Every structure is written in structure tokens, then in C-alpha cells.
Amino acid sequence: MARRAVLLLLGIAGGLLLAGSARAYTNAGPISEEIQNLFWAITLFAVVVAAVVFGILAVFLVRYRESVSPRPTSWVEGDRNLEILWTVIPTIILIVIVIISVPVLVYTDTIPPPDTTVRVVGTQFIWTFYYEDGTTSSPDLWIQAGTVVKLEVTATDVVHSFAVPDLGIKIDAFPGHMNHWWMQGDVPGDYLIQCAELCGLEHAKMLASVEVLSEDEFDAWLTRRRAEQTAGTSDLGQETWEGVCSKCHGLSGEGGIGPALAGSVVIADPEAVEDLVRNGRRTMPAVGAGWTSEQVTALTNYLRENPPGGG
Amino acid sequence: MAARAETRTPAWQRGKVVSWLVTTDHKRIGILYISSALVFFVLAGLMALVFRLQLSQANADVLSPERYNELITIHGTAMVFLVAVPFLTGFANYLVPLMIGARDVAFPRLNALSYWLFFLGGAILMLSFFASGGAAQNGWTAYPPLSVQQPGNGQDLWILSLHILTASSLAGAINFLVTIHNLRTRGMTWTRIPLFVWSIELFSWLLIAVLPVLAAGLTLLLLDRGISIGPWEIQTHFFDAAEGGAPVLYQHAFWFFGHPEVYIIVLPAFGIISEVLPVFSRKPVFGYKAIAASTVAIGFFSMLVWAHHLFTVGLPISLQAFFMIASMVIAVPTGMKIFNWLATLWRGNLHFDTPMLYALGFLSIFVMGGLSGIYLAAFPIDWQVHDTYFVVAHFHYTLFGGVMFAIFAGLFYWWPKMFGRLLDERLGKWQFWLLFVGFNLAFFPQHLLGLEGMPRRIYTYADESWEGYNMGSTVGSYVMGIAILVFVWNVWRTTRSGPRVGNDPWQADTLEWYTTSPPPPHNFDDVPYVTSARPLYDLRRRLREASGFRGSL
């Protein structure tokens, strides 16, 4: 019995080590790098503490089991020095952890001089991004590698949380309140954005990605995007349909959580569509309350030219 | 005595069923609490088994998002309010008067009211699945504006249920405090009451301190959802940003209650462990005063840490630092307890009976839960893992691995006290190993999922690299389900054929074992004068000295 218990306890300790050696998460920016360093530092303490506690436990279970220790050989009811010892040592460990955590806190919580600012707006079940020059993108975000992007995070309906695990970002988006945060991606690539606060039925599908581009690529993207949006020839309408509307109404308007739109006359009426997306109706949230008029027009144009379900 | 009690009890109250319905006996109420909690435990556990199926694979299609959100919401709410708290309230009901040498709690009828309010609140929560629009779907935290916007009555019934449970717990807490302060027997000073009683003292104070804040938050939530009284319609905007309200206000109210609630649950679990470990080590508990003092310290600090649940809402940096340090501080008294328990095992005579196995299981799992808590308290890491499966893993290590293992230790330990029969040891050990292995299989992988970024409360995921851990977790949860079946079978079998084992099968030291098992309605015919924290040990020693018997008793 005792042997089995010890084996299992050792198994747990081994599991902890395994956790320590597991890939935590990709880190593609300075914030996640800082957090990851802190993670490993604390893991070091955690493994030592776990080894000590489980080691003591295992030794005691073997040495003092009934069959080898037929009667208690100590009747001590307490020991002041020991109590002081195991109060002071954990306190010191925790002070060390606080000391190494605070700089990471200050670093992360202090926004460096930003190269650009992006407004991040959460709406069931989509993120929309507004860039400094008036460009809009949704559901994905594009940023330039190596730049400090200041984030102004808010929501239009319920509480969301803007999370990019690979970049160490998680900041809540509250309606009626602006949270300021920052992000920086150093390694070009695309990284998952996932809403981290339960925000309704399709919370799980509030996914997007942040595309970290090199300077040239980013400039090219932004210039093209700006020009297209001004000219009304961008893909913004299609992106909005696929990123926003189709989450509830289906990609070809076949319906889902929301009613089927295929064949609906309302979608051919730009004013009715604008009223719906800006104000919502019954269970439909006001997804477009914060959209620019460019985005609304892009959507209505797209719907007129490409009625869902072929029309 | 029996004859007198019979003449006082009206005939209609003497029936087998009716006598339970009208009882004001703390022991019967304790058993009612524990058995109801067991039923709710099975129900809420079954919910978990259903949604674990949905999560076992990427893009699974077992549950719609509505059903999934209902199940996680009611699973969480029920496990906290209808399982953990009432299990421990049941133990407190049964044990506190016996442990301090009293005949009953101070207010027996208020005690019965507490139980029936709890029963009503639990029934409302479970039946809310049949409400228009289904049960509440917004998580056990019910953050507005989402919870204000859910159509139908599920969220309203959730609020109603919690209001009733709050009233029940408040009445219970007051009752325990008055009992502990006024009804201790002669010689039962504050340094001689069992450590479990100390934990119930703090449990009660914490409930009284924080439940009103929850009740206030819930009332505002209800008003925001809108109520109508006769011709008046009331619709407030406390949490509605468009009208000048603040959604984050609710989060503060909820967690000002919610975090102490964790300790409200875990302190009595600690209390159970402090009773079980010394008995099965055949030694006095190591550091009685230190353990009692750490209980008080944990109770105090638990009210200063709530905002570590709000690290991502955009708090000022000074507040973040304060709550980080307070959250770390609480690890010190918790560590103290763990080291004192280890020292209790030191040079003991360890008996691995089922209660001891559960206590040791508690110890090893709780250490893990405590360590993952340190990561979460260091909030730069919390920014990474907040609202991911890392958090889910952490609180299941503390609340299931910690609290439920302690509850099973208590059930196997005090079962012969309550019913005069032992639960089957062989089945008990099978159950323990199934539960221990199943638990670690179910929840350890969730740490890794959280580190990889899997958020909690999502009904589906597309990332197939998460499938392996999730499948492991689902398999583990079913192994736990089998373990619970073994327990139910054990209870079923031993109520018929369990061995009768006398008044004190474990050679325990506390006063509840002084009386018969099960005890008579009035608990004790006489209570010995208490001269230490271990009155029964003293009694055995005096008997031994008087009889000149040299062997072990």
C-alpha cells in the first residue's frame, strides 16, 4: 500500500517536471518573452518546493508505515523554531518571486512611446480594428514587425477580452470604457487572436489572427488597403460578411443561430441593413454600432452585388 | 429519556419519513445536508461528463452552444453552492455540537430552516433547465452585460436560487457562531476545541462578512434585468455602460465574495484533514496553535485578494501590485499548515485506512494546486493564462482535488459515527485509486492546454493539437465517474450489511467519539471535564493508569 502510494506521488512529481519541460507557448514578442522568463523562474521554485514536499511525504510514508513503525516514537506537539523556519523560508521565496515579478509588471504595464495606435473594438463575435490613418480591418489585424502598437481596447455590447497568447497579450474589452495596452510582434507570421471572456453563444468562434508583417510588406498593405477603401473597391464588404454576418447567418446565408438570409429582400435595401447592423434587433446584436460609414457602405455594396445564397 | 421524548412528540411526527421532514436534530439535519449534497454532486458531475464529451475532440457536435453554456454554468454554480458548501455545512452540523460537548446547535429550528432553504434553492437551480429560454448560460460568475441580456427566465431563477442559498448560509453561519461561542462544555477552552471547530468558526465569520456583498451584487443584477411589482416596472442600469453604469462594478462585488468563498470551502476541508491525519498517525497533531492561527490568518487575508480575478480588466498598477502581494502572502499560512501536517506524520505509526488515503491524496493534490496558484498570483503570468484552462486546472486541483478528497476522507472517517457501520474498506480503496488516477488524468493536462492558450468556456475548438490533452481529460473524467459509482455502491451495500464496529473504531481523540455511534438524540448522557485538546486520549490514559494495564488501548 505504502509503496503504491509512493510510486504515485513520484508520478505526480514527475508530471510536474514534465509540465516544466513542455512547450509553454510560442513567444513572438517582447512581452511574451518577459512573461515566459518569469514563468521559468517561478517553475524553478515550484519544482524545488514540490520536490522537497513530495520527497518528505514519500520518505515519511515509507519509514513510518504501520508495519515498520509499530508505535509512534515521538510525542512532540509542536516546535516554535520549526514553525518559524517554515514561515520564514516560504516568505523569503515569495519575496523573491515578488521581486522578480514587479519589473515584468512595470515593463508590461508601461506603454512605450508608440509608433502607431490601433483601436480594438469587440462586438459579438468579431473584432474590428481602426488604424490611425482611418483604415479599417476586420476580423484580422495587421501590424508591422518590431513596432510598438498602442491598443485602445473597448467593446460595443458585452465584455470581451482581447487575447493573443503568442504575443503575451490579454486585456479585457468593456463597453463604455477604454483600456490602454500595447503590443509588439518581432517575428513575422500570423498569430491567433481569441476572445478570452465568455461573450455569448459563439464565444468559441470569436477567432481571428494578427498578421505581423515586415516593414515593406506592411507599408504596401496599408497603402493598398487605404486606397481601396477610399475608392470603395476593397474586400472590406466581403470580409465583413464572412467575418461578422456569416458567424450567425451562415456563409451562404443559410442561417444558423440567426435566421437564414438567402432570398431575403431586406439585404438588398442598404438603409435597412445599416439600421440593422448599427442598432441591432431583438437577439441580433448591434454589430456595426462602431463601424465607419465606409465599412457599412462596403457591406451593403457587397450584399447588393453578391446576395447570399446566389439570390 | 426515550419514553419522555416519545410523549412530547406528536404522533404525526413520528413516521419514518415525516420525522426526517420535521426534524430539528442537528445530526439528522447534518445527514440531510450531506445526502442532498451527494445527490447534487452526482447531478453536477453528470453535467461535466456530458460536456467533456463535447470537448473530447475538435469541432465535436455533441452539444449546441446554448446547452453547453447552460451545463458549464449550472455545473460550476452547483458544485460550489450545492455540493462543496452543503457537504461541509453538513459535517459542521453533525460534528460541531458533538465535538464541543453540546446537545444541539444554539437555534435548532433556525437550523432546520437553513437546510430547507438550501433544498429549495438547489431545487430551483436544477429545475431552471425547464425555464423559458433554458437555464442560465453565462458562467457561474454571470458577468453583465451578457447576463443582463440573456432572454428568458433562466438567469432570473439563477439569481433567485443564489439569493435563497445566501439566506440559508447566513442563518447557518450565525447558528454555528452562537453555538461555538456559547455551548462549549466545561473545560472546552479555545485552545482545546478541535481544529475542525476552529475552521467552522472562520467559515462562519467569512460567510457573514462576504455573503451580503454577493447578495447586493445579485440584487443589482436582477434590477438591471428588470422586474415588475404589480403595476410598477423597475429597470435599472447599474451595469449598463450606455446609461452611465459600470460592468466592472459587478465583477468587484462578485469576487469580493467569490475569492473568500474559495477559503470558506477550503478551511473546513483543512479542518477535516487536521482531524484525520493525527488519528491515523496515532500521534497528536503537530502545532495545534500554529494550525489554528494559520486558519485565522487565511480567513483574514482571503478578504484582501479578490482583485486577482480582475488582473486583465485594466486596474491601476498600484492596485495590481497590492493584490499580487496579498495573494502571495496567503501562501505562507497555507504552507504552514502543510508543514505541520507533514510533521504530524513524522515518527508516527501510519495506518493506511481509507480516510488516511484520502487525506494523503488531499495533501499531494493540494500542494500542486497551491503551486499553480503561485503562478496565477504572479500576474504577468496571469495575463498569459487568465481565463484559460490553466485556471480551470488550478481551481479543480484546489476544489476537487483538495476539497472533495477531504470530504471523502471525512465521509469514510465519520460514517461509523453517523450510522454505526463502517463503509467497506476494500471498495473504499478501489474508489480512492480510481478517483486519484482519474482526477490527475482529467485535470493535469488542462495546465498544458492553458499554457498553449486554450481559453475556458469555449464549446468547441478547431485546433487539433489540443485534442490529445482534451481526450485524456475526458477519459479521466469518466474514470472519476466510475469511482463515484463505486462509492454509491459502497453506501448502498453497507447500509444493509456493513460491519457494526462499536463506538470508536479508529481510536480517535475528540469528544464526538465519547458517545455511542450513532449518538442518541440528546448526544451525551454526561460529558467528561475537558482538560486538553484530546479528551478521549486523556480518558484512555487515566483508565490505563487506574487499571494498571500496560498494553495499548
The residues that bridge with A225 in the sheet, in sequence order, are: none
Domain closes at, from A178, A197, A230? A230
pLDDT tens, residue order, chain B (553 aa) = 444 555 577 888 888 889 999 999 999 999 999 999 999 999 999 999 999 999 999 999 999 999 999 999 999 999 999 999 999 999 999 999 999 999 999 999 999 999 999 999 999 999 999 999 899 999 999 999 999 999 899 999 999 999 999 999 999 999 999 999 999 999 999 999 999 999 999 999 999 999 999 999 999 999 999 998 889 999 999 999 888 899 999 999 999 999 999 999 999 999 999 999 999 999 999 999 999 999 999 999 999 999 988 988 888 888 988 999 999 999 999 999 999 999 999 999 999 999 999 999 999 999 999 999 989 888 888 888 999 999 999 999 999 988 999 999 999 999 999 999 999 999 999 999 999 999 999 999 999 999 888 999 999 998 888 999 999 999 999 999 999 999 999 999 998 888 888 888 999 999 999 999 999 999 999 998 999 999 999 998 888 888 876 655 5
Q: Is A6 within the bounds of a domain?
A: no
* CA trace torsion B144, B146, B151, B153 (10° rounding): -50
What's the ipTM?
0.90
Please check whether residues A156 and A195 belong to one and the same domain.
Answer: yes
Q: Is A9 within the bounds of a domain?
A: no
What pLDDT does A3 receive? 56
Q: How many domains is chain A built from? A: 3
Residue A199: domain span: 116-230
The residues, ordered by sequence, that sit 6+ positions from A134 with a Cβ below 8 Å of its Cβ are A226, A229, A292
CA B137 – CA A300 distance, rounded (Å): 33
Alpha-carbon separation of residue A293 from A1, A233, B241 (angstroms): 72, 14, 24
Looking only at the bridges linking them, the beta strands covering A126-130 and A136-137 are: antiparallel
Element (H, E) at B438: helix B425-451
Residue with cell 509588471: A105
Which residues 262-281 on chain B approach chain A with CB closer than 8 angstroms?
281
DSSP for B501-549 reads --S-TT---SGGGTS-SSPPTTS-S--PPP-SS-HHHHHHHHHHHHHT-
| B168 catalytic residue (yes or no) | yes
Are the CB atoms for B482 and B406 separated by under 8 Å? no
Tally of CA atoms within 13 A in the half-sphere of A197 that contains its CB: 30
CA B477 – CA B48 distance, rounded (Å): 8
Please check whether residues A215 and A257 belong to one and the same domain.
Answer: no
pLDDT tens, residue order, chain A (311 aa) = 555 555 565 566 566 555 544 445 567 889 988 998 899 999 999 999 999 999 999 999 999 999 998 989 888 889 999 999 999 999 999 999 999 999 999 999 899 999 999 999 998 888 989 999 888 888 899 999 999 999 999 998 899 999 999 999 999 999 989 999 999 999 999 999 999 999 999 899 899 999 999 999 999 999 988 888 887 777 788 888 887 788 778 878 887 778 888 777 778 788 888 888 888 887 787 788 777 888 888 888 888 888 877 64
Q: Is A164 within the bounds of a domain?
A: yes
Nearest CA in chain A to B533: A77
What is residue B241's DSSP assignment? G
| Cα Rg, chain B, nearest whole Å | 24
What pLDDT does A21 receive? 47
Q: Does B360 touch chain A (CB under 8 A)?
A: yes
Domain closes at, from A109, A127, A156? A109
Among A290, A265, A275, A243, smallest CA distance to A125 is for A243
Query: In CATH, what number is assigned to the domain containing residue A256?
Result: 1.10.760.10
What pLDDT does B359 receive? 97
The residues that bridge with A161 in the sheet, in sequence order, are: A172
Alpha-carbon separation of residue B374 from B257, B262, B265 (angstroms): 21, 15, 19
What pLDDT does B416 receive? 95
Domain closes at, from A230, A263, A298? A230
Are the CB atoms for B104 and A163 separated by under 8 Å? no
Which residues 28-57 on chain A approach chain B with CB closer than 8 angstroms?
32, 34-35, 38-39, 42, 45-46, 49-50, 53-54, 56-57
Q: Is A212 within the bounds of a domain?
A: yes
Using the CB atoms, write b or e for B112-126: b if 16+ within 10 Å: bbbbebbbbbbebbb
Please check whether residues A171 and A139 belong to one and the same domain.
Answer: yes
What pLDDT does A7 receive? 59
What pLDDT does A287 receive? 80
The answer to whether B151 contacts A283, with C-beta atoms less than 8 Å apart, is yes
Q: Is A243 within the bounds of a domain?
A: yes
Please check whether residues A266 and A224 belong to one and the same domain.
Answer: no
Q: Is A273 within the bounds of a domain?
A: yes
Angle between helices B247-281 and B405-419 (to 10 degrees): 60
Q: pLDDT for B428-455, tens place per residue?
A: 999 999 999 999 999 999 999 998 889 9
Residue B260 backbone dihedrals phi, psi, to 5 degrees: -55, -30
The answer to whether B287 contacts A39, with C-beta atoms less than 8 Å apart, is no
Q: Is A16 within the bounds of a domain?
A: no
Which residues 193-212 on chain A approach chain B with CB closer than 8 angstroms?
194-205, 207
The answer to whether A201 contacts B448, with C-beta atoms less than 8 Å apart, is no
